[in-house]
Homo-oligomer: A and B are copies of this chain.
């Protein structure tokens, strides 16, 4: 471009060239020629832009990496991190006809069921559609039980519209339904709608509770205990809040079980430099797939009571249990069974979501949290904090309502609902078994049973030479492994370093959501890649 000009607009290069030959940047990022002033895209403005831009000097930015919020800078979120950005780039290349050793990118990085072809639960969508466009309430093709639920939700919305703000805590009748759902799930343990807060997915609830909990300076700064490996929302929220992350390690040798002795070790070690006040549990585990036993939960609750820890129980995978020998116990239920010393004292927030389970409605951003034993002053503070964001999306609240109030035996939609739900859960159980089995056939890959949730988190052996290569690229070894996997096969998984892992061990997280036949191909490709990788770096 020697002697030429670059034309910028809002800091973005839009055209460059000299004399009669000018190029402009088109929307998909490809260079193309255009006669300025006749471009169909921004003809009205490009001519004056030439005039202006050439004379404008570019000043120093106000917002830079140096000047930005350092806590936000410190945030990492691997589930949508560099590997996923790379996957996006590769997808674009494929669209633009670039040749690759594969035809498509398979995003096994995130628990996004519908993206993998899972069909929505018909009844859920019927209810939400009826709420969205109430003219359909007269439409005979919608079942009566769906209409009943839609009418009930709308009657609890101001102006009978999903377009009104709900109360900050969520629509009243939906909170009532959540409370009934919890009571039924927990075999009668009482739940009160006042303790239920509808949220924008579970993430919003978890962030809000953490936000209210963090305080202190220096040694008295709040420590938040999280499992390693963890779901990186936790580490991200902790960074953002400038809290102290306290790691307790799950026991890979023992199916990723939680050992209360390890909790104790981590807690007492942390007391030397911060004030550990919060204990986060993910059950069923993400990324581990482990399902906690009742005994384990009792030990955790006892520990929390003794050491004065506020409990956060992330239970968004409560419907995703595959191992015949495992059962889901909610922390709330176990807390109750332990007697009044426990159920009148332990401060517990538990989280659920529309995004996982058999429904997989991630896009609706529906969720709830139940918070028990909160100090009344704090209840008011929490409601105030939530009120600033006005309310969770009301259509997501409606979706949550169907999850907690599904068709009942005798209702018109019951059979179809059960058929759809069972098909999805059976299919997931099959894929959980298949994945464990196939991974364990690969030398250098070791995978614990996928008792629940929707991920495999296999341990991978990475040869020393590959570790050196990774260092050259300034990458963690498992990041390098996953990048190679992506570039060679189009399969996008998340490196274990994004979740945390014991020093010297390497893993990746992969969802089991692709359809069975596709999953088989995917697992075979991972196997072939892994064997090649071992050979290449032998």
Q: How many residues of A contact B (CB 8 A)?
A: 135
| Given known A45-B190, A347-B63, A372-B11, contact A69–B214 (CB-CB < 8 A) | yes
Please tell me if A245 contacts chain B, counting CB pairs below 8 Å.
Answer: no
Please tell me if A201 contacts chain B, counting CB pairs below 8 Å.
Answer: yes
- B63–A212 touching, CB < 8 Å: yes
- B212–A69 touching, CB < 8 Å: yes
Residues of B within 8 A of A361 (CB): 163
Please tell me if A531 contacts chain B, counting CB pairs below 8 Å.
Answer: no
* Nearest CB in chain B: distance from A109 CB, A: 11
Query: Whole-angstrom distance between the alpha carbons of A168 and B365 in the complex?
Result: 13
Please tell me if A404 contacts chain B, counting CB pairs below 8 Å.
Answer: no
Residues of B within 8 A of A76 (CB): 384
Please tell me if A320 contacts chain B, counting CB pairs below 8 Å.
Answer: no
| Given known A125-B132, A340-B52, contact A190–B80 (CB-CB < 8 A) | no
Identical copies of this chain, number: 2
Please tell me if A162 contacts chain B, counting CB pairs below 8 Å.
Answer: yes
Please tell me if A444 contacts chain B, counting CB pairs below 8 Å.
Answer: no
Please tell me if A265 contacts chain B, counting CB pairs below 8 Å.
Answer: no
- A363–B14 touching, CB < 8 Å: no
- B77–A388 touching, CB < 8 Å: yes
Other-chain residue from B9, B117, B363 in contact with A344 (beta carbon distance below 8 A): B9
Residues of B within 8 A of A110 (CB): 165
Interface residues of A in 140-170 (CB under 8 A from B): 141, 157-159, 161-168
* Nearest CB in chain B: distance from A296 CB, A: 22
Please tell me if A183 contacts chain B, counting CB pairs below 8 Å.
Answer: yes
**Would you give the 0/1 interface string for A191-216, flagging 1 where the beta carbon is closer than 8 Å to chain B?**
01111000011011001000111110
Residues of B within 8 A of A183 (CB): 42
| Given known A77-B388, A365-B392, contact A61–B375 (CB-CB < 8 A) | yes
- A344–B115 touching, CB < 8 Å: no
Please tell me if A510 contacts chain B, counting CB pairs below 8 Å.
Answer: no
- B344–A56 touching, CB < 8 Å: yes
Q: Which residue of B lies closest to A8 (CB)?
A: B344
| Given known A44-B188, A159-B116, A190-B14, contact A343–B166 (CB-CB < 8 A) | no
* Nearest CB in chain B: distance from A471 CB, A: 23
- A129–B136 touching, CB < 8 Å: yes
**Would you give the 0/1 interface string for A126-140, flagging 1 where the beta carbon is closer than 8 Å to chain B?**
101100110010010
Interface residues of A in 270-314 (CB under 8 A from B): 277, 305, 308-310
| Given known A165-B362, A344-B11, A375-B64, contact A117–B159 (CB-CB < 8 A) | yes
- A11–B374 touching, CB < 8 Å: yes
- A310–B62 touching, CB < 8 Å: yes
- A162–B363 touching, CB < 8 Å: yes
Residues of B within 8 A of A194 (CB): 12
Residues of B within 8 A of A391 (CB): 362-363, 365
Other-chain residue from B163, B164, B189, B392 in contact with A45 (beta carbon distance below 8 A): B189
Please tell me if A228 contacts chain B, counting CB pairs below 8 Å.
Answer: no
* Nearest CB in chain B: distance from A402 CB, A: 12
Please tell me if A521 contacts chain B, counting CB pairs below 8 Å.
Answer: no
Query: Whole-angstrom distance between the alpha carbons of A27 and B362 in the complex?
Result: 31
* Nearest CB in chain B: distance from A300 CB, A: 15
Residues of B within 8 A of A43 (CB): 188
Query: Whole-angstrom distance between the alpha carbons of A27 and B173 in the complex?
Result: 12
Query: Whole-angstrom distance between the alpha carbons of A237 and B360 in the complex?
Result: 32
Residues of B within 8 A of A1 (CB): none
Query: Whole-angstrom distance between the alpha carbons of A158 and B236 in the complex?
Result: 25
Interface residues of A in 364-395 (CB under 8 A from B): 364-365, 372-375, 377-378, 381, 384-385, 387-395
- A384–B75 touching, CB < 8 Å: yes
Query: Whole-angstrom distance between the alpha carbons of A133 and B143 in the complex?
Result: 14
Binding site for B on A (CB under 8 A): 8-12, 14, 27, 41-46, 49, 52-59, 61-65, 67-70, 72-73, 75-77, 79-81, 88, 107, 110, 112-118, 120, 125-126, 128-129, 132-133, 136, 139, 141, 157-159, 161-168, 176, 183, 187-190, 192-195, 200-201, 203-204, 207, 211-215, 233, 236-237, 240-241, 277, 305, 308-310, 336, 339-345, 347, 359-365, 372-375, 377-378, 381, 384-385, 387-396
- Interface pairs A-B: 5 shortest CB-CB: A56-B340, A44-B188, A115-B158, A363-B394, A129-B133
